[in-house]
Chain A
Amino acid sequence: MTALLLGALGLTLSLAVPGVLAGARWPDRAPVAAVLLWQALTLTSVLCALGVVLAAPEEMTRAAGADHPWTVVALVLSLAVAATIVIRLLISLIKVSARARARRERHRMLADLLDRAERHRELGGGEVRVLDGALPLAYCVPGREPRVVLSDAVLRILDREQVDAVLEHERAHLRHKHELVMESFTAFYQAVPRPLRSRAPLDAVHLLLEMVSDDAARRRAGPAPLRAALARLSDAVPLAEEAPADPAGESRRRRLDRLAGPAPNSTGLSVLAGVAAVGLLVLPTVILVVPWLDQALDAWPFRSL
């Protein structure tokens, strides 16, 4: 029974819920809590998978009659499968972060060499690098020596206030270590067998982290320069908008909408989503513990007293 419950929960959480959550618009008003919810969702589905693997063989052999020699075999097998799942996840995490670190390292070195130092003296901040090029581009390279990279086009298209807003946005990514969040989701994505994996959590969390950084930049630089910067830079890259069914165009619209009015974040929604995240994490444990507690209470020796 425990295994069935855990299995049903795991399947719901990994197949049905991500689609619903990715399609929802309320996370735009509680991006931090929504990221937590995605994390809880992913972690809980892993816990459910482990729970099923560990509980199912034991329950089935118990139903077939205890003391059967197959009980031991089933137990060993289930432990092996559970260990495989955990090891696969860990290896994926190590591989993803090693690859990201190597790429950042090389990227930072090249950005340092190609930097047009004379063009950003007045911008301040020792981590800013400016590249030649008419394609507007702004991103950050996380790491122990982080960099914020702008293309020359950004400096020409945006005024000083807007550039500062962009820099604040990138610094928020760096300060909050968003790369670690993304790495964990990427690692999970790659550890899931190909036919079962879904990009929905990756893309949703990516957009939510952009919104979190937008909020940080908005607090420091104000919403107007940030919104203008986002709009101007998207206009300058028309090719992205022309691509059919382009999700980036949609996500830009959502970010622009958030910056249009007063601060959109809702404390109530954040609390709700946070409670949901904690609840999700606790659920598999409850499912596992309750039957055990039931049995334990039955066996409680002082009950008859």
Chain B
Amino acid sequence: MALGDLEREVMTQLWDASEPLTVRQVHELLGRERDLAYTTVMTVLDRLAKKKLVVQQRADRAYRYAPAQSRAEMTAALMFDALSATPDQDAALAYFLGQLPPGAIRAALDATPKET
């Protein structure tokens, strides 16, 4: 399984959990369906922490991991980034729909009901 897919599944577990998880808990949640090394899960969590996507908390001699932002927050931030990318800055992305005028972006994102 590709590393990117694994990172996504680990994030999904952390997002779905109600509290910060230990490596062992993540490993158990993922391991139900397939054979996965404990150390692999540890490496993935470590990489995600380095990218500042998850935060590491120390509790009872074990590290616990929580997502830095909820899935909804992170999605909204990504969409905001996509919608506010204008060609006079860096022309990073190309669109099917033209960009929204700057004032409308926040309003549009706020107006859309959150799905979670």
Contact = CB atoms under 8 A, between A and B. Distances in A.
A14 B4 CA distance: 47
Contacts of B107: 239
Given A113-B11, A243-B103, A248-B100, A137 B88 contact: no
B61 interface: no
Interface string B55-77: 00000000000000001101110
A237 B93 contact: no
B8 to A, nearest CB: 5
B17 interface: no
Given A100-B90, A137-B83, A153-B112, 12 more contacts: A103-B93, A104-B93, A112-B7, A133-B112, A142-B93, A170-B94, A183-B90, A210-B95, A234-B97, A239-B107, A243-B103, A248-B98
A41 interface: no
B104 interface: yes
Contacts of A38: none
B36 interface: no
B78 A111 contact: yes
A251 interface: yes
18 contacts: A100-B92, A103-B85, A103-B92, A107-B81, A107-B92, A109-B51, A110-B78, A117-B5, A135-B79, A137-B79, A137-B97, A138-B97, A170-B94, A202-B88, A229-B96, A242-B104, A243-B100, A246-B101
B115 interface: yes
Q: Say what secondary structure dominates the interface of chain A.
A: helix
A182 B87 contact: yes
Interface residues of A, number: 65
Interface of B: 4-5, 7-8, 11, 51, 53, 71-72, 74-76, 78-79, 81-83, 85, 87-101, 103-104, 107-109, 111-113, 115-116
A195 to B, nearest CB: 15
Given A133-B75, A151-B79, A140 B97 contact: no
Contact of B90 (A115, A134, A151, A186): A186
Nearest to B115: A132
A92 B116 CA distance: 42
A99 interface: yes
A120 interface: no
Contacts of B51: 109
Which among B5, B79, B85, B99 has the greatest number of chain A C-beta atoms within 10 A? B79
Nearest to A115: B8
Given A134-B115, A139-B96, A240 B89 contact: no
A96 interface: yes
A247 B109 CA distance: 20
Contacts of A96: 90-91
A145 B34 CA distance: 27
